[in-house]
C-alpha cells in the first residue's frame, strides 16, 4: 500500500502512456512529466503568492488579503484574471522584439531547471549525468533575460535595475556554485538522484544521514541559502527591484501578461533553487526518521520545499534591504572565502574518515566545525571594520 502510494505518479504516468503506440511512448512520457511539472508549479505559484501575503501580513501585524473568497483564498485567481485582461503596454522607444522575448527567455530555462530535480523516488523528469551542472547552466540564462528586459525598455530605471541585478547575480553565483561543490565531492557524482541516494540511510539506525547534519553541510546550506536569496532577487537582496529607489527595476516597463510571466518565472526560480537546496542538503525525498518511511517520498520533498519557502518569506518580512556596497562586500569578502574554506573542510572530513577509535566521529565533527567557526569569526569582524563612522549625505541634508 505504502509502496503504491509512493509510486502513485510514476504508475499513473506509465498507465497513461501505455495507451499509446510503442514508438511514441518515450516522447509522450517526457511530455507528460513536463506538463505535470508545469501544472504542479503553476498551482504552487498561486498558493505561494497568497501564503506570502498572508504571512507577511501576520509579521507586520495586519490581516493580509481577505476579501476574495473564504479567508481571501481566491485572491490569486482574481490577480490572474486581472493580469491577463490588462492592456499590454510597450514603450514607444523600446526594442520591441527583445522586449517581447525577455520573459520568454526567462521562463524556459527556469522550467528546464525544474525538470532536473528529483521530486520523489523514481520521479526525476530528466536524469542527466551532469544534472547539477545543467541546472546552473540554464540558470545562468536568467541573467541574460534580466539584461534583455532592462536594456530593451529604454528606461533609466530599467537599465539601472538590470545593471544592479546582473552585478548581484554574477557576484552571488560564485558562492552558490562553490557551496554545492562540497556536496558533489562527498557524493562523488553530479547527478541529482544519486546525490539524494547518497544521503539515504540512518546513523545508529535513527539519525538521518543528510548533508545538513555535517559541519560542512551546515555551512554549505547556510551559504547556499544566502546566495540563493540573492540569486532570486528576494529581500533583503532585492536591490534590483527596490521600489523606493528605482520603481521596479528592470520590470518597470512591463505590464499585463508579460509582467505576470516575469512574476511567475521569479517564483519558479525560487522553487527550483529551493528544490535544489532540499536535494543537496536536506536529503531530498528521504524521510527524516526510519519510522516515518511510510509517508510517500514526494510528500517529504514538498514538505521540505514548503518549509524552505516559508523561511524565505520569514526572512523577507524580517530583514531590511542591504546597501549596494554592503551587498558586494558581503559576497566577495565573506561568502566567497567561506565557501572556499568549506571545500577544504570537506576534504578534511573526507580524509578523517580513516580514524576509527571511540569518539572519532564526534571529534571530527567538532574539529571541522572549529575550522569553519574561526574564519567565520574573523571574516565577520573584518566585514564590519570598513564601516564609515558617520554617513555623509551628499544630496539629502
Interface with other proteins (CB under 8 A):
95, 98, 128-130, 133-134, 136-138, 140-141, 143-144, 147-148, 151, 159, 163, 166, 170, 189-190
Lookup result for grid cell 514607444: 92
Lookup result for grid cell 541585478: 165
149 vs 287, beta carbon nearer other proteins: 149
Distance CA 22, CA 247 (A): 54
49 vs 191, beta carbon nearer other proteins: 191
Q: What is the DSSP letter of 203?
A: E
Q: How far is the CB of 122 from other proteins (least distance, A)?
A: 21
DSSP one-letter string for 287-307: -SSGGGTTS-HHHHHHHHHHH
136 vs 202, beta carbon nearer other proteins: 136
Q: How far is the CB of 316 from other proteins (least distance, A)?
A: 26
129 vs 307, beta carbon nearer other proteins: 129
79 vs 143, beta carbon nearer other proteins: 143
Q: Which residues contact 147 (CB under 8 A, 6 or more apart)?
A: 162, 166
Q: How far is the CB of 204 from other proteins (least distance, A)?
A: 32
Distances from the Cα of 207 to the Cαs of 34, 276, 308, in angstroms?
35, 22, 21
Instruction: Give the other-Cβ count within 10 Å of 234's Cβ.
Output: 19
Do 50 and 28 touch, CB atoms closer than 8 A? no
Q: Which residues contact 290 (CB under 8 A, 6 or more apart)?
A: 202, 205, 206
Q: Which residues contact 253 (CB under 8 A, 6 or more apart)?
A: 89, 90, 91, 94, 99, 153, 154, 155, 158
Q: How far is the CB of 214 from other proteins (least distance, A)?
A: 23
Q: How far is the CB of 151 from other proteins (least distance, A)?
A: 6
With vertex at residue 320, the alpha carbon angle to CA 314 and CA 325, rounded to the nearest 5 degrees, is 130
101 vs 218, beta carbon nearer other proteins: 101
Do 179 and 339 touch, CB atoms closer than 8 A? yes
CA 283 to the chain's CA centroid: 16
Q: How far is the CB of 99 from other proteins (least distance, A)?
A: 12
Distance CA 46, CA 282 (A): 25
10 vs 98, beta carbon nearer other proteins: 98
177 vs 212, beta carbon nearer other proteins: 177
Q: How far is the CB of 298 from other proteins (least distance, A)?
A: 26
Q: Which residues contact 293 (CB under 8 A, 6 or more apart)?
A: 2, 287
Q: How far is the CB of 302 from other proteins (least distance, A)?
A: 27
102 vs 278, beta carbon nearer other proteins: 102
Q: How far is the CB of 166 from other proteins (least distance, A)?
A: 6
Q: Is the peptide bond before 236 cis (omega within 30 degrees of 0)?
A: yes
- Paired with 209 in beta bridges are none
Amino acid at each position: 500500500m505504502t509502496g503504491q502510494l509512493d509510486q502513485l505518479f510514476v504508475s499513473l504516468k506509465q498507465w497513461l502512456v501505455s495507451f499509446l503506440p510503442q514508438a511514441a511512448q518515450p516522447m509522450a512520457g517526457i511530455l507528460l512529466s513536463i506538463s505535470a511539472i508545469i501544472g504542479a508549479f503553476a498551482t504552487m505559484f498561486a498558493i505561494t503568492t497568497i501564503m506570502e501575503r498572508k504571512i507577511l501580513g501576520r509579521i507586520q501585524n495586519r490581516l493580509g488579503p481577505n476579501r476574495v473568497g473564504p479567508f481571501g483564498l481566491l485572491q490569486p485567481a482574481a490577480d490572474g484574471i486581472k493580469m491577463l485582461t490588462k492592456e499590454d503596454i510597450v514603450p514607444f522607444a523600446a526594442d520591441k522584439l527583445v522586449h517581447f522575448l525577455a520573459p520568454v527567455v526567462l521562463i524556459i530555462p527556469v522550467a528546464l531547471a525544474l525538470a532536473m530535480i528529483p521530486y520523489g523516488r523514481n520521479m526525476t523528469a530528466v536524469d542527466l549525468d551532469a544534472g547539477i551542472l545543467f541546472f546552473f547552466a540554464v540558470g545562468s540564462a536568467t541573467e541574460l533575460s534580466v539584461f534583455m528586459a532592462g536594456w530593451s525598455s529604454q528606461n533609466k530605471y530599467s537599465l539601472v535595475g538590470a545593471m544592479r541585478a546582473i552585478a548581484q547575480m554574477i557576484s552571488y553565483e560564485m558562492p552558490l556554485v562553490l557551496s554545492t561543490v562540497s556536496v558533489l565531492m562527498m557524493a562523488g557524482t553530479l547527478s541529482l538522484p544519486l546525490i539524494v541516494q547518497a544521503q539515504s540511510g540512518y546513523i545508529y539506525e535513527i539519525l538521518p544521514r543528510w548533508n545538513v547534519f555535517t559541519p560542512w553541510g551546515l555551512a554549505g546550506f547556510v551559504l547556499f541559502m544566502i546566495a540563493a536569496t540573492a540569486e532570486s532577487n528576494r529581500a533583503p537582496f532585492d536591490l534590483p527591484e527596490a521600489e523606493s529607489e528605482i520603481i521596479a527595476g528592470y520590470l518597470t516597463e512591463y505590464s499585463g501578461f508579460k509582467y505576470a510571466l516575469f512574476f511567475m518565472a521569479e517564483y519558479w526560480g525560487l522553487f527550483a533553487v529551493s528544490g535544489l537546496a532540499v536535494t543537496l542538503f536536506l536529503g531530498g525525498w528521504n524521510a527524516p526518521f526510519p519510522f516515518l518511511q511510510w509517508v510517500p517520498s514526494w510528500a517529504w520533498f514538498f514538505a521540505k520545499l514548503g518549509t524552505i519557502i516559508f523561511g524565505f518569506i520569514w526572512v523577507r518580512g524580517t530583514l531590511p534591504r542591504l546597501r549596494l556596497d554592503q551587498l558586494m562586500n558581503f559576497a566577495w569578502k565573506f561568502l566567497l572565502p567561506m565557501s572556499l574554506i568549506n571545500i577544504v573542510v570537506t576534504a578534511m572530513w573526507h580524509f578523517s574518515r580513516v580514524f576509527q577509535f571511540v569518539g572519532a566521529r564526534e571529534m571530527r565533527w567538532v574539529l571541522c566545525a572549529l575550522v569553519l567557526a574561526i574564519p567565520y569569526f574573523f571574516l565577520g569582524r573584518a566585514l564590519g571594520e570598513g564601516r564609515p563612522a558617520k554617513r555623509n549625505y551628499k544630496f539629502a541634508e
